[in-house]
Structure 1
């Protein structure tokens, strides 16, 4: 029998609904795993055993009394520590906010708790959601469960690593220039960066406000659909929130991808590590075998992504942190301080050029989507690196290499579903992303579910 700590939330949900599994038993098993394993992995900053058990007992009593709320009722969840939780410290992975206790829940936390989830704890992250490795000198470097000498990716490092290690069935992430998709790739899990504005960012500590998004992370596409159903929707407290109807994300999951037109942007075929190139070519063949029509597409406008991404992320972050950088610079790690200070050097013409480039990229994407249904690309061009002693230089290098592959999605505001595509020669996961037009999450989940059914992590380049 499968260990319940490694079951997908969809499977757990059915067992809980049919009263074959107690939310209290499940929560206790997970808390025990966190207690035993997390001191090595550092996926949680603030575990919440007392709160989790109290919520689990309440959920169990409600379910036994016939007050079942839906598929998330009784499901434990990990919360990224840049999301406000009322009365519970929210560090944003930073020494600067080590003792910050919000007086409200973020909108997305309200929705998830209202659906009956059980909060296992606040999860580790790259400091201030501004890095891609999972390094955190204040709360411990998160380790990759596939090989603890390797990084898990960031900034949603705790979420991805805890999912891979069986320390939570579902988790929340944020994505400003790749922070859901990059760790999903390195840890072999699933995550979706949704259309900008689909999920409220009210109560999320900002990194770059015109790019910040919130999304679900899990071990299966069905779990993502289950979470997105509750997380998405208009919020009057968020000025960027979209007033759009939320579709049923479940109904087309099993439709397959026969005759679906999938484009491969040639931009994403440059600079790939050999293992990533090999695994991606294998994935393309598998998609064709599943009935998809594949064609390469050219989007030369994406060459502006790196310049625009750096200018906007650092510029907007420097506005948020300006006073703290002046008065408490010692509370920032070296790489994050340098990253944010670079934003203070961004001038208005550079920022406006970057915003204009975004518009050109959006128009280019819309043009491509007239010919294809979705696009597919490697999530990042590199295999998962081992942690280096020179972590400052390594952090900046990982951002430099990966941001061109992830930030175009943030700049254009379109959704992207990160999925595993196999194991490299070191036995570590690699990932790819299905990219859709605005508000095409339902189609992306349909494609992702079909892809998941072939069990992509069984494909390995590792030599026996």
Structure 2
């Protein structure tokens, strides 16, 4: 193998295990060493337990030697975000406000990954209660971006994004309610798929919330979807068991020919678009058009009222959670979150009803604007990653969601959307292209993303942090 063992993809590891060229044990040791070397700088993990992971790797090795692996991912290292429960482990949700009480059972994504024999290396970090696009937390150490340690990796799947870019193994599970998979994927230069709502079951479903894979390649994301997009009766919102051949992701560039592609360069709300991001996305659009797609620029369909309504509803929801806490526990919450939530204290019932109505308005507007296209491409974020210490790009709790205008519509419309790296800033930081598809067309988004992988410019080497 020419690449370091920790940097091998899940697909490469599966092939190497089948041929007996590599053992899950030696791969896990390389991943453990990588994490131990970089964590003092990166702080992407929590519950990093090398010996526990080694036990899992030895069990996988025995299955491979016996010719009885559990599947294509047996022995492949994986990390799982703090808020995806793993049996026997506490779930702090990024905040010092909660007791560390072991949870009784695995979340559906964790259960499926364990059933398929993956090796759980660590949980990954997140900000307080997942309501920030950063790694700022009162429980976890501050997560940083491996491309530039002074910058945030994004959030709320902060540690997962940083871990994928830094080479903490190939597979990382995160979640997304307004951009929490795609923002760190964009700012860390990796791939992610926010699937159709209900595609990956959750034990605690909530409007717009999805789990998804965070990987370096589309292929690894497809392999992970094959594992986690399976039925689980605990999710009352799950989609019917999919008859999806996830391995059909592997198309060539001709897949793009003839596709109707919307190009959205104005979110209609929030922060102005950074000129470097604009250039990278327009360059990507030109490559897609040159491959035979019909690319048509779109008018914005989101409005400031829609974004503000969702923000105000979430503030009130969080305020209710905070008011239910004992005062000494609430005092441990990140002050930014407390100030953001407390700003809802004077909202009337009528105002909150109108705010909630913006979720429906966003869903209707998104579907109406995208229905004439096979796919819609856009920036993931209007801005480059903020300083690591900032809670959000504005660092202002009263302007906390102004960077999610491109991402949040697809949570509310329940459409799948990916982030795939499409270029770099002048400072060498990654820039993500968002690819959104029609509802339920998760495979199509993977295929489009794979086709773009084949025609994009050469990628920079992954950061080494030496």
Normalising by structure 2, what TM-score? 0.91
Cα distance in 2 for residues equivalent to 1:391 and 1:356: 25
What is the match of residue 374 of structure 2? 373
What is the match of residue 55 of structure 2? 54
Pair 455,116 (structure 1): closer, same or farther in 2 beyond 3 Å: farther
What is the match of residue 464 of structure 2? none
CA displacement, residues 203-257 of structure 1 (integer Å, 9 cap, x when unaligned): x5x8xx2222111110001111111112113322122222342411221431521
Q: Is 1:247–2:244 an aligned residue pair?
A: yes
What is the match of residue 288 of structure 1? 289
SS in 1 for 2:420: strand
Pair 404,229 (structure 1): closer, same or farther in 2 beyond 3 Å: same
Q: Does the 8 Å CA contact 1:265/1:296 hold for their aligned counterparts?
A: yes
Q: Which deviates more from structure 2 when the two are superposed, residues 376-385 or residues 136-145?
A: 136-145
Instruction: Give the structure with the larger helix fraction.
Output: 1
Cα distance in 1 for residues equivalent to 2:15 and 2:74: 10
Cα distance in 1 for residues equivalent to 2:198 and 2:355: 20
SS in 2 for 1:402: coil
Pair 108,347 (structure 1): closer, same or farther in 2 beyond 3 Å: farther
Structure 1: runs of 5 or more not aligned:
none
Number of positions where the alignment pairs a residue of Structure 1 with one of Structure 2: 456
Cα distance in 2 for residues equivalent to 1:365 and 1:383: 24
What is the match of residue 229 of structure 1? 226
Q: Is 1:171–2:168 an aligned residue pair?
A: no
2:215 to 215, 218, 241: 218
Structure 2: runs of 5 or more not aligned:
462-466
CA displacement, residues 391-441 of structure 1 (integer Å, 9 cap, x when unaligned): 896264884331222211222221111111111011111112101121110
Pair 343,326 (structure 1): closer, same or farther in 2 beyond 3 Å: farther
Q: Could you tell me how far 1:109 is from its partner in structure 2? A: 0.6
CA displacement, residues 366-392 of structure 1 (integer Å, 9 cap, x when unaligned): 334442101011000011233357989
Q: Does the 8 Å CA contact 2:127/2:155 hold for their aligned counterparts?
A: yes
Normalising by structure 1, what TM-score? 0.92
Pair 24,395 (structure 1): closer, same or farther in 2 beyond 3 Å: farther
SS in 2 for 1:328: helix
Cα distance in 2 for residues equivalent to 1:332 and 1:258: 51
Q: Could you tell me how far 1:318 is from its partner in structure 2? A: 3.5
Q: Does the 8 Å CA contact 1:384/1:430 hold for their aligned counterparts?
A: no
Cα distance in 2 for residues equivalent to 1:31 and 1:305: 44
Q: Is 1:155–2:156 an aligned residue pair?
A: yes
Cα distance in 1 for residues equivalent to 2:307 and 2:71: 42
Cα distance in 1 for residues equivalent to 2:34 and 2:238: 37
What is the match of residue 133 of structure 1? 134
Q: Which deviates more from structure 2 when the two are superposed, residues 69-78 or residues 249-258?
A: 249-258
Cα distance in 2 for residues equivalent to 1:409 and 1:35: 37
Q: Does the 8 Å CA contact 1:92/1:125 hold for their aligned counterparts?
A: yes
Pair 113,389 (structure 1): closer, same or farther in 2 beyond 3 Å: closer
What is the match of residue 259 of structure 2? 260
What is the match of residue 454 of structure 1? 455
What is the match of residue 71 of structure 1? 72
What is the match of residue 185 of structure 2? 184
SS in 2 for 1:50: helix
Q: Could you tell me how far 1:362 is from its partner in structure 2? A: 2.8
What is the match of residue 196 of structure 2? 195
